[in-house]
Chain A
Amino acid sequence: METEIEIEQSVHVTRTLAPRISDPAAAFGVMNRLRMRLQAAVRGRDQAVELIVVALLADGHVLLEDYPGSGKTTLAKALGGSIIDDVPDDPIVTFRRIQFTPDLLPSDVTGTTIFDPNTNTFFFRIGPVFAHILLADEINRTSPKVQSALLEAMGEKQVTVDNKTRALDDLFFVIATQNPLDLVGTFPLPAAQLDRFLFKIRMTHIDRQSELEVLAGYKTHGDKRLPGDDLPRVTRTEILDARAVIRAVHVAPEVQECLVDIAGETRKNPQILQGASTRSLVLMIPALQARALSRMRSFVSADDVEALAPFIFAHRLELAPGVDDVDALIRAAMVKPMERLARATMAR
């Protein structure tokens, strides 16, 4: 990809090469700029914003569970608007949105091969997945067929149409939403699909002050531009570089033990039919590293584990019938490993 960046760039965007970053401070700057823009665009969602930024840097996807009109789309759009596509000549755009409905077809997601009568050839018309940020709205309203099409895109960063596999961009980030209450006529996501999402973020109503700020912002800006649009943006290359930087964040063996212990605790608990998977732990490492970096730390700490664990495990655990408070279960599973970790820091 690097070689592509060095070739000629689009005149109407920029002629300068995108700056490359390689140190933690610059990566922190990337996260910070994203966070500032998102927080300016969506009021009172600081935790969700932080988690989305972490997921973006950790190369994961997020599932938002929320009511209509709570700012999901605004959030996703703001995220798309925060990213400068510094490879403007390719067909991939920064932001796409798919509204999932029961009659949607896989080709509506991935794209399809179309016959061009002028040239007498078939050409591939790209679908909405060819984007940096994809908002998959009400993902549980569509058929499993379409869901599985998205599944490949999310897991492998590629789509296969007519037996031809096409790669998606390295920066492919899905924000899916689903309504937790309105379940009539939905196709609940199977466990395998849920597992593709790094975080499931359950959003609650924002507080009064933030809500007032939203109204004030709407009055000022109108519907056209998002607030905070004048804040600095980040380029696609910067994000990809930052992803490389966070890999250098140190994960101490004690922290890894703690993660394994938490997973073990969830598997031991009789109220949980299926505990945390090994893959969830593997996915958790970059997320922890990203969060550590967002706190300007060069190492992963217990605080990161405590902050992220509920969002990573909550949708992966299969609960026994009649058990519903998954957060309490996760908290309970974390007590002992976290205590061990805290004690381990004094032992060294």
Chain B
Amino acid sequence: MSVASLPDRPGFFRQLLRAGAMALAALSLTWGTALPSGLAAALLGAALGVPIGQALGRSRVRLPVVLLGLALFAATGFGLAAFAVGAVFFPTLVGTGTALRTAAALRFGIAALTASAALRSIGARKPAAAAIEVVALAAAIPSVFASHRDGIIARPLWISDFAWQRGIDPTHIFLGLGGVAIAVLAVLLLLETRSGRAPSSLMALAALIALALGVLPLLGLPTPKPPNDLGLTDSADAGGKDPLDAGAKPTDGGSGARGSRPEQGDGGDPLDGGSLGQESDQLDGGGGAPPPDGGPKVAQSEHLEDQGSGKGGEAPMAVVILDDDYAPPSGGFYFRQEAWSTYNGARLVRATRGDVDGDQIFDFPVRSTDVPDPPLDPGRARVRATVALLVEHTHPFALESPVRFVPAQNPNPTRFLRAYKFESLAQTTPFKELVGRKSGDARWPEPVKSYYLEGPTDPRYAALAKQIASKVPASYTGDPFATALTVKLWLDDQLTYSTKARHAGVPDSTADFLFGDRTGYCVHFAHAAVLLWRALGIPARIGTGYRTEEDDRHGSSTILIRASDAHAWPELYLEGIGWVVLDIAAKKNIDEPPPPVDSDLQRLLGEMARQMPHDPVHTALTETSTLAFGKEALRVLLLGAAMTIALLYTVKIWRRLAPFVVRPRRLPVAGYRLALDHLAEIGLSRRLGETREAFARRAAAVAPSFAALTDLHLAGALGDPARDAAARDELSRPRWREGNALVMREIRAGSRFWRRLVGALDPASFLRAR
């Protein structure tokens, strides 16, 4: 006859959903750890744990006893598993493999079953603790994607490969997975509530998802960090001490690594007509070997170190979008970031004096900035381009030689750190036509002239230089460019490229390199060339930055700069032309060639940098538009949230004041609502289908006098409206004031302060007062 108040038996569907989710969680956690038998056992155990835990939770056994029993059960299971492999007779009886599989199945199955049953029994006993279960699920399932950390969007491979192949950014897929996870968890949480689905909870769910989408453009996607190259470039800090051995493993585009290129025909007579053309082709290409694996940076200067020296490889550093078409005669794009021209007794470093190397700037442009000492016009083509940096750089770089830097809007703040435009006068003169020009500049004052010729006092340099210069064909004797070219060709012939040879720990590492095994990388090559040229009276310096292969852009206007493109190269000054890059391309390379440019990545990053406004199909696919929309949406969302909160507070305050101002006829509603609001603030609210009297009985534990207010309210709502108003207690304002004050006092005495504080601050607390 008694209407029993046992907890509702959960529906079969909900149990099934729970068991499935638990099994999935167990699978996620054990994936990659367990043998197939263990996997299967974990799946089964987790799924079985749900009904077992439910049954335990509904039993009369006390919860600590249940948990202790489960722990004992687990211990027994693990003991059995240890026995299965530990005891001698069992493996001999069934075979070692079977014994191992049995032990794994026992361990994983019992662990999963125990955990799942414990969670469920706690959840069944204390509905509020069901959140623990949900959190456990939430923690377990994403562990599959744990390898996708720090923005390394390439893991797990089976997802990212799938995405890349279809031209989708895997980030979107991971975001989608995250969104689905949020939605599923929210639905699970909603299912746990007993008071039915209030519209407010659905609104909260929508707000949660919108917030997740909105926060994204604000915080940005995690930026991929170039992976450490296994410690090969560990001594970045050495940069200041010994220049050429400075820590970073230099990479060198300048090595003659490219075997497929036509070899120089005749080193002996480099400048004879026909072969010069071929040479120039080869010369210019000489710098162009795809850089071998290694440190991304020349990193001889501390200024470059923070750009990722010590890291390297294929990590993208920046994207350059050419606005003007330009094909470099040398076959490679030289992006100069710095020039090193001061000889400090051991090596070349960045100039500190103001009257030299005026063709560069060191700060990122905030307005259109002209280079102080622009290159000369003749023989150069005007090239404009946009650079979007993926990794922080200390100075801007530009195609040699820049004339102007202009700030640009970051096309995609979540992907790129910053963007700028540059305008360069890029070298176009064929090397043949450079022959016959004087070196240096007549306008230069004497200190500058001698500055660009400073070099070591070591006589071996001059001797070697003279020896090489003697090979210049007679018709070109004394011509600076021909002499320089001869030196270059001699170096091409003599040097061996290797990033392993570092020539560290000697006072003059260039000498150690040039007069030693002649094995080194771009920095050594550039130093050797510059010092030999200077010894011959040709003003020269080293340019540092990036070098990319003309062929690598595959006809696209996008140039992807990778960490391994970092390079240093020698430059010489010719009158009427300016600084000319004449890179060394060693014929012998003992390093492995680097992997080719990932053209998919190049295209994708190019599209991101370019924003592709003219291509609606691609725009839909690119992240840019989504995130721009997201940013806008976030603003709207924040505004909407602020307005909603303000509105909620207004309503809340009104509901609090209403009993004092409404007409007496409305008192039974307004006064009762006030008491309901107070109860809702401390977490007491009517459940779905619960009568007001039943709720009052439940709330009597905190506020016994609430029942009287309930009766007053019901008398107002369900009582005979025809009765004499004067005799109706529920229309008396003092009665309500008194009753509400009493309820407030009881609530204050019966609840914790923090609970009331949280409730008072919660703008939506009244939504739960039903």
Which of A's residues lie within 8 Å of B, judged by CB? 47-48, 201-204, 250, 252, 254-255, 297-303, 305-306, 310, 327, 331, 334-336, 338-339, 341-346, 348
Contact = CB atoms under 8 A, between A and B. Distances in A.
Contacts of B718: 250, 252, 254-255, 299-302, 345
Contact of A306 (B196, B686, B688, B691): B691
25 contacts: A47-B2, A204-B1, A204-B2, A250-B719, A252-B717, A252-B719, A254-B718, A297-B711, A298-B720, A301-B692, A302-B691, A302-B692, A303-B692, A303-B693, A306-B693, A306-B694, A331-B3, A335-B689, A338-B689, A338-B690, A339-B196, A342-B692, A345-B669, A345-B713, A346-B672
Interface in B705-763: 711, 713-720, 723
Interface of B: 1-3, 196, 669, 672-673, 686, 688-694, 711, 713-720, 723, 770
B691 A299 contact: no
Contact of A346 (B669, B693, B694): B669
Contacts of B714: 299, 301-302, 345
Nearest to B673: A346
A333 to B, nearest CB: 10
Contacts of B688: 335, 339
Given A252-B719, A345-B713, A346-B669, A310 B693 contact: no
Given A342-B686, A343-B770, A299 B669 contact: no
A303 B694 contact: yes
Contacts of B720: 250, 298-299
B1 A344 contact: no
A237 B3 CA distance: 35
Nearest to A344: B717
A300 B690 CA distance: 16
Contacts of A300: 718
A343 B691 CA distance: 10
Contacts of B3: 310, 327, 331
Contact of A298 (B2, B691, B715, B770): B715
A300 B718 CA distance: 7
Contact of B715 (A203, A254, A299, A338): A299
A341 B718 CA distance: 10
A252 B715 CA distance: 10
Contacts of A252: 717-719
A299 B718 CA distance: 6
Contacts, number: 82
B693 A336 contact: no
Contacts of B2: 47, 204
Contact of B1 (A202, A250, A346): A202
Contact of B691 (A254, A303, A344): A303
**4 closest A-B pairs by CB:** A335-B689, A250-B720, A345-B717, A303-B693
Contacts of A334: 689
Contacts of B689: 334-336, 338-339, 342
Contacts of B719: 250, 252, 298-299
A104 B467 CA distance: 143
A342 B770 CA distance: 8
Given A48-B1, A306-B691, 13 more contacts: A203-B1, A252-B717, A254-B718, A255-B718, A298-B715, A302-B692, A305-B691, A335-B688, A336-B689, A339-B688, A342-B770, A345-B718, A346-B717
A338 B687 CA distance: 11
A255 B694 CA distance: 16
Nearest to B692: A342
Contacts of A303: 691-694
Given A255-B718, A298-B720, A342 B1 contact: no
Nearest to A332: B689
A300 B717 CA distance: 11
Contacts of A48: 1
B199 to A, nearest CB: 13
Contacts of B694: 303, 306
Contacts of A343: 770
B693 A302 contact: yes
A346 B695 CA distance: 15
A297 B723 CA distance: 14
Given A306-B694, A338-B689, A342-B692, A348 B1 contact: no
Contacts of B690: 338, 342
B11 to A, nearest CB: 12
Contacts of A331: 3
B717 A348 contact: yes
A47 B1 CA distance: 8
Nearest to A331: B3
Nearest to B718: A252
A202 B3 CA distance: 11
Contacts of A339: 196, 688-689
Most B CB within 10 A of own CB, among A47, A334, A338? A338
A175 to B, nearest CB: 15
Nearest to A65: B1
Contacts of A310: 3
B717 to A, nearest CB: 4
A346 B717 CA distance: 7
A334 B690 CA distance: 10
A301 B686 CA distance: 16
A210 to B, nearest CB: 13
A130 B402 CA distance: 120
Contact of B669 (A297, A301, A335, A348): A348
Nearest to A327: B3
A300 B2 CA distance: 22
Contacts of A47: 1-2
Contacts of A204: 1-2
A301 B673 CA distance: 18
Nearest to A334: B689
Contacts of B669: 345-346, 348
Most A CB within 10 A of own CB, among B196, B694, B718? B718
Contacts of B711: 297
A342 B692 CA distance: 7
Contacts of B713: 345
B693 A301 contact: yes
A343 B718 CA distance: 12
Nearest to A311: B1
